[in-house]
Structures are given as C-alpha cells and as structure tokens.
Structure 1
Amino acid sequence: MELLYLLCSIVYTSTTTLFLSLLLPFRLLIHRLLPSRSAVDSSVSYYEGTVWHDRLRPVRHSFRYTVRYALFDLDKSLETPPDHLSADEARLLARTNGPIFLLTIPPSVGYEQNPLSLYYCYNLEGSSKRLSKCIAQVTNTPWGERVTFVFDPESDLVAKSLQVSPFMDMLGNWKIRANEPGHELSVSIESQHPHHGNYFSATLRAKRIDQTRVSDPAVFFWLMPHKVAIWIYWHALKLWWKNVPFIQHPRYSNPSYREDSAKRDQKLRCVGLDGSNSGETIKFDGCSSGFGGCRFAWRDANWPWS
C-alpha cells in the first residue's frame, strides 16, 4: 500500500508540476503588462548556496547540490509559506521579544520539499537586537513527519528525535549551529553516534543575492523542491546499492522512541529551556508538547505513512 501510494504521489506531483509550469510564461507576461503586480516583496531576502552531506560509516558516501532559500521577515512579509509558525508563535516558543526570520525553501508549482526550515529569533536590547535562539523544523522523507525544537545558535547538542533516513538509526545526538544571516549564512549539523562517533555531517553555506536578480520568486524557485527530493531519493538508492543496512522506522521496532528521545535530551540539558521546569504546554502545528524539560514537538505522518 505504501509503495503504491508513493508511486501515485510521484505521478500526481509530476502531472501537477507540468501543468503549473506551463502556466509560468503567462504569469511572466502578466507581470510585464502589469508592472505593479511584479514587485518583489522587500521583506524577503534570497540566498543561493550549497548543501554538503558527508557520511563516514559504515561506508564513505558524500555529495553536494546547489540550493536556493528565502529568508522571510515574518513580522513584515506579505506572503509566507504555508505550514509554518507565525512570528508570534515563534516568539512564544523561543521566549524572545524581537524580530523573527524564517529561512526555508518555498513551494514551487504545487510541490513542497523542505528537510530543514530555520527560524532566527532575536531579543531586543535597547536600540539593538541580538540573535538569541533558533527554532529548527526538521521534516523527513517520504513520511512527512516533523519535529520542532529550540536550540542555541552558537552551538547546541540535541538528542536525535526523528527518523530522517532509513539508513540511520535513532541513536546519538545532533550537534547543531547556525550563524546570524547577513551577506552570508551557514548551518551545520553533525551526528554524534555512541558506536560510530561523528559519522555524518550536513552543511549549508549560502550567500545573499541581489533582489534585482529575482524578477519573480516563482521563476527563481522553479523546481527547487523537486531537485531536493530527487537528490534525497537518488542517494538513498546509492546507499542501498552500497549495502548500507536498511533500518525500519522506529514506530515498528520501538513505539516509545519519542519519549526515549525526550529523556535522552533531558539528560543532555538537565533542565528546561530557560533553566526552569514549569511544565507549560504550548500548542502549535496540530500537536502539543511540554517545553519545561522537553523541547520537542512532533507532527505525525499523514496516511498511509501513519
């Protein structure tokens, strides 16, 4: 059933993509005829860069691909991608009081593929602002499950809380860091495994591009989510070809894997996000999670993966 659903999803996405892509020239024509409708949102910055993946064990496997991201000022942007936190929700979750910026790959011609979205949460200190916290939203493929958590951008250690690949188990932690987005930005994640050590890393490095190059965001991001998906599936096939063990989703082998992740994370942090253990419950994305001692909120997979 799941394989049939995946094949049907690919066919549906391909058909929708083709149809909506054929409409793009008409969209460009309308923008030429009506320049007032073609103005680019000045509250959105555009970045172009490279994603690197490097696996050391049980086999060496590395690859990289070019990627384009948008950085939305959520307090000012006229249009933000669906299925994300609002500025107020992000401030409540991060417990900050300043601007919120969202780094993400917008949907393109009816399709969305976003392994990682990042919120930059600032605190106001007098007349200046300081990057205080980041919020990561990690989404796995093909299940579409998501975990959301707050981390310290300078460097943080987070218990692995999501099955991001069927070729990785759930053991170990993520070491994550992100710099303040400016002319350049970078994000790095390392997997620290109790048996394999630091066996995997993923890095994004990107540069902000001039907005004059983005006459239409729909054209700028055309097929970007599709390219990311193709890279994910292609290199999963390569890992399978290299005889890397296929690991069943933990919901079958360990239904309490989320609770286990939360407990491991508590051991890493000892206390809650703000040094307390208030047990406060915050609801968003259709789920709830206590952020006193646990910083994770999960979104379940949709049918038929659920």
Structure 2
Amino acid sequence: MEAVYLVGSIASTTVTSCLLSLSLAVRSLLFRALASPARNPGGSEPSTNGGGGGDGDIPAVRLYEGRVRHARRRPVPHDFEYPVRYALIDLDRAPPQLRPSHLSADRAREVAATNGPVLLLTIPASVGYEQNPLSVYYCYDAAGEQEQEGDVSSSRLRMCIAEVTNTPWGERVLFVFNPGSDLVAKPLHVSPFMDMLGNWSMHADAPGEDLSIAISVEHPTLGNYFTATLHAKQVYSSSSSLNLATFFWMMPHKVAIWIYWQALKLWWKNVPFLQHPKYINPMYRDDALIRDQELRCCPSIGGSKNHSIHTSDEDNKYRWRVFSWSS
C-alpha cells in the first residue's frame, strides 16, 4: 500500500508541479514586463538590519539560505550536506497562505506556555508540493507591556516547538524543547535506517542575521552516532507571494530528491533497512512516551523538565498527525 501510494504521489506531484511551474513562469514574465524599470526586479529587498532592532520595522517574513549537514558514524560512516532555503515567519503578522498546515501564533503560545512573539522557521510549499523534514517555532516571552508587535529584540527566547515530518510516510509529530539544550525520546520513525531507541539532543540559537540548529542522536548501544545541523544566513525580507514563490521554487522537491538519494546510498552500503515500527510494535508511541517521562524525571542525565511533546490528549507529551493511507 505504501509503495503504491508513493508511486502515485510522485506521478501526481510531477504533473501538478510542471503545470504550476509554467503558471509561475508566466506570472513572473508578466510582472517584469509591467513593472516600472526603476523597481528592483522581483520587488524583494536585501535585509540590512539582520532581523535585529526593536523599532517595529522587523519584517514579517525573512528569507534564509544555508546548508544542512548530516554525519553518521555507525554502523558505517556516511556524511553529506545540501543547500537549503528557509522562511522565518512572524505568525502574528504573516500572510495566511504561509501557514495553512502549521500552528497559529496563539496555539503555539498555548503549547509552549509563552506570551510573546512566535516565529516559525519552515520551507513553504512550492508549486503544489510540501516537503518539510523539520520546522521550528521560536516562542518568546514578552519583556514588558510596552513591547511592539513583532519585536523580538526585547524579548527572551524561552522555548521552541519542533515539528518533524517523516518521508515518505508523511507522519508528523510536534514537541516542545528547551532551545539551550534538551534531550527528547525519539517519537517518530524518521529514518528507515534508524531504530526507535535513540534520544534526540536538541539545540537552537535565537535567529537573527544567522541561525543554527543542531540535533544529535544518542543511542543506548551505538552511542552518539548521528548529527544533523542547519546553518543559515538571512538574505532577503519579503512577503510578496510572487517573490516567495520564486525564491522557494522547487525547494521542497530538491529536499525530497536529496533524502531519497542518500537513502539509496545507505542501502548500497548495506545499512539495514527497518520497516515502520507500527508493524512490529503497535505501541511504539506509548513506549516513546514512557522513555520521555524517564528523561524528564532524570534531568541530570541530559533530560529537561521543561520540554513537552503534545498529543490530542492535553495531558500527554506528543502530538502526532498520521495520514489515513499509513494507518
């Protein structure tokens, strides 16, 4: 069933993306033809304030370019990196089309128990396709009543919410973590070349002119055998739908291709391919909850009492979304 869905999804996405890419090209040509010669092509303006300042001029959408790097040490060494583009979106001020499948600012504040601005780092959908392995909500605490809307310079980054999606299953989990350092029990079958026994060590710096995120896997038998990092630099600020469509054109598709290509390389290196844990242990989510509770009860070994992982049950720690085809 999953293989059939994958083939059908690839075919459908290819047709849809080709048609929408043609439409985008026509829109872009018309815009350039009708725009004033004095206007900056594309209408986007390079950022000069680096996301800093507190004068109310911080843009609602900031665009970043950077690189994602993965480094695996066991059972075989395997390193790679690829270029990526992200949007950092102020959820209180962003255009609605940029956040159709994400938490609202109010919901993120409720989940993270914060009261300030919420910034979402994500790869927006492009020409009908969405591929977003990791999105991060930066949840701030307001410094005082005089704080201006969207002003994070006088706020304190208190918590982050990670939104992780696996490929090709399309399942999603959200969990809260302390950006300084936190340890979270692995809640999702993110890679078919990793089992469910590892814990994720999380770190995220407050975004500005530069941003960075680091995740490492701590395994009971393999040790710290895998690290993933994102380092990016702000390049533009724009909320124009045409600018965003052009800037992120085919970005999700490229991410998907890199994921499948690296999976093929791991398979070629004889790294064991593991089927989805739901076929072996239908209670794998409950097991993740138990392990996460143990980490939070023992912060001295790396866990944090502050992180939480949400489900539809407000008393639990994870929030999963599962597509019907993968149920």
TM-score above 0.5: yes
Q: Kindly report the root-mean-square deviation, in angstroms, between the aligned alpha carbons of the 2 structures.
A: 2.5
Choose between structure 1 and 2 for higher RCO, CA contacts under 8 A separated by at least 6 residues: 2
Q: Is the contact between residue 143 and residue 302 of structure 1 (CA under 8 Å) also seen in structure 2? A: no
- Give unpaired runs (5+ residues) of structure 1: none
Corresponding position: 1:113 with 2:113: no
Question: Which residue of 290, 293, 296 corresponds with 2:318?
Answer: 296
Corresponding position: 1:47 with 2:71: no
Deviation at 1:275?
Answer: 6.2
Q: Secondary structure at the match of 1:110?
A: coil
Q: Secondary structure at the match of 1:268?
A: helix
Query: What residue in structure 1 maps to residue 280 of structure 2?
Result: 253
Q: What amino acid sits opposite 1:59 in the alignment?
A: V
Query: What residue in structure 1 maps to residue 56 of structure 2?
Result: none
| Matching of residues 156-305 of structure 1 within 5 Å | 156-211=182-237, 216-270=243-297, 288-291=312-315, 294-303=316-325, 305=326
Once the two structures are superposed, residues 136-164 of structure 1 have per-residue CA deviations (whole angstroms, 9 ceiling, x without a partner) of 00000000011100000000000011000
Q: What amino acid sits opposite 1:264 in the alignment?
A: R
Q: Secondary structure at the match of 2:13?
A: helix
Deviation at 1:290?
Answer: 3.0
CA distance in 2, matches of 1:117, 1:211: 19
CA distance in 2, matches of 1:274, 1:65: 31
Corresponding position: 1:125 with 2:151: no
Corresponding position: 1:72 with 2:89: yes
Q: What amino acid sits opposite 2:313 in the alignment?
A: S
Compared CA separation, residues 55 and 274, structure 1 to 2 (3 A): closer
Q: What amino acid sits opposite 1:89 in the alignment?
A: R
Percent identity, please.
58
| Matching of residues 120-159 of structure 1 within 5 Å | 120-126=138-144, 127=147, 128-159=154-185
The TM-score with structure 1 as length reference comes to 0.90
CA distance in 1, matches of 2:173, 2:155: 27
With 23-32 and 226-235 compared, the bigger mean Cα shift is at: 23-32
Once the two structures are superposed, residues 28-53 of structure 1 have per-residue CA deviations (whole angstroms, 9 ceiling, x without a partner) of 134332679x7669410000000000
Deviation at 1:271?
Answer: 9.0
Q: Secondary structure at the match of 2:312?
A: strand
CA distance in 2, matches of 1:18, 1:297: 34
- Give unpaired runs (5+ residues) of structure 2: 46-58, 148-153
Q: What amino acid sits opposite 1:13 in the alignment?
A: T
Query: What residue in structure 2 maps to residue 103 of structure 1?
Result: 121
Deviation at 1:121?
Answer: 0.2
CA distance in 2, matches of 1:11, 1:275: 45
Q: Is the contact between residue 178 and residue 304 of structure 2 (CA under 8 Å) also seen in structure 1? A: no
Deviation at 1:300?
Answer: 1.4
Compared CA separation, residues 271 and 122, structure 1 to 2 (3 A): farther
Deviation at 1:7?
Answer: 1.0
Total equivalences in the alignment: 294
Query: What residue in structure 1 maps to residue 54 of structure 2?
Result: none
CA distance in 1, matches of 2:259, 2:320: 22
Q: What amino acid sits opposite 1:182 in the alignment?
A: G
**Which is strand-richer, 1 or 2?**
1
CA distance in 2, matches of 1:89, 1:243: 43
